[in-house]
Amino acid sequence: MQSLNFDTIIYPANLTGVVAASIFKSEGQKVLLLNRYGFFGGTITESLNLFQKKIDDSSNGQITHKILDRINEYKDGVLYEGQNHLIFNPEVIKYVLQKFAEENQIALLFHINPYKIEFKDGLINLSVIGREGTIDLSCKKLFDFSTEFTFVPLLEKFSRTFKTGFVNFISLPVDDEDVFQNVYLKKKLRDNRWWISIKNESDNVSEVERFAQIAFDIIDEKLRAKKSRIQIVPAQSNLIFEFMKSEKDIEGVYFITNFINSFSHDEELLIAKQIERSLTDVRNF
């Protein structure tokens, strides 16, 4: 990165983040796309939040549809398709989003955790912790398109409340579905593997990963008894937060809720499409 000063900084490198970054870059802005992990996709790939609602083929959201079309071009891009939902191949999503960012020459900074936001002289100063220590960035506009509202705890008078979490994973094929008794959701994939989602029972966010490990151990033991096993586990659980903000927005900082009043964790495609429409229709961003 040649400069640490940008017009717009976006977090994370999920579908919405990549779409928004390409829009701002096409308008001549200097854009930086941040991400916690070293791969693209947001909760879809980080938390294996793969079960997503379909979106219609209307003309709105052209960039979003272009990216989804690329995913569908791959033989294994979609692992399951129902009437209203589908399940993506997380590896294909990572690759397609990465290639799209490269084609649009979007500057990237991955493996970071944001820890401080300050406002001075009309700029937003954002400090993040990366692999090589603290990195200080500045921008005019900051967009947090994470469904976890990652930047909220860094802002005064803003708060988020943990609601629940989901432990998602993919297992190898198994004939006995009783192995998955009492799970929140299960879907058999086209290649006979299973995508499984278990709802976290704790209301304490600090207990989520401990719950996840226990859930993995229990189900994996059952699977191994049937000569199967868990194949893919997430980098982290899918955390669901409720965002409670003050009556007055902070100028220059935007969240998903600045564009969409409410959403669920299976609406990542709809979020991207609606925010793309807002960013292209309204020129005050």
Cβ neighbourhood burial of 58 (10 Å; 0-12, 13-18, 19+): exposed
d(CA 70, CA 68): 5
Q: Where are the beta strands (DSSP E) in 172-237?
A: 185-188, 194-199, 230-232
Q: Which residues contact 266 (CB under 8 A, 6 or more apart)?
A: 49, 51, 52, 53, 85
pLDDT at 196 over 60: yes
∠159-261-208 over CA atoms, to 5°?
Answer: 45
Q: What is the mean pLDDT of the chain?
A: 93
Q: What is the pLDDT of residues 200-239, one digit of tens each?
A: 988 889 999 999 999 999 999 999 999 999 999 999 999 9
Confidence of residue 172 (pLDDT cuts 50, 70, 90): very high
- Residue pair 129/115 in contact by the 8 Å Cβ criterion: yes
pLDDT at 56 over 90: no
DSSP class of residue 24 equals H
Domains contained in the chain, CATH given = 5-157+247-281 (3.50.50.60), 160-239 (3.30.70)
DSSP lists the bridge partners of residue 116 as 127
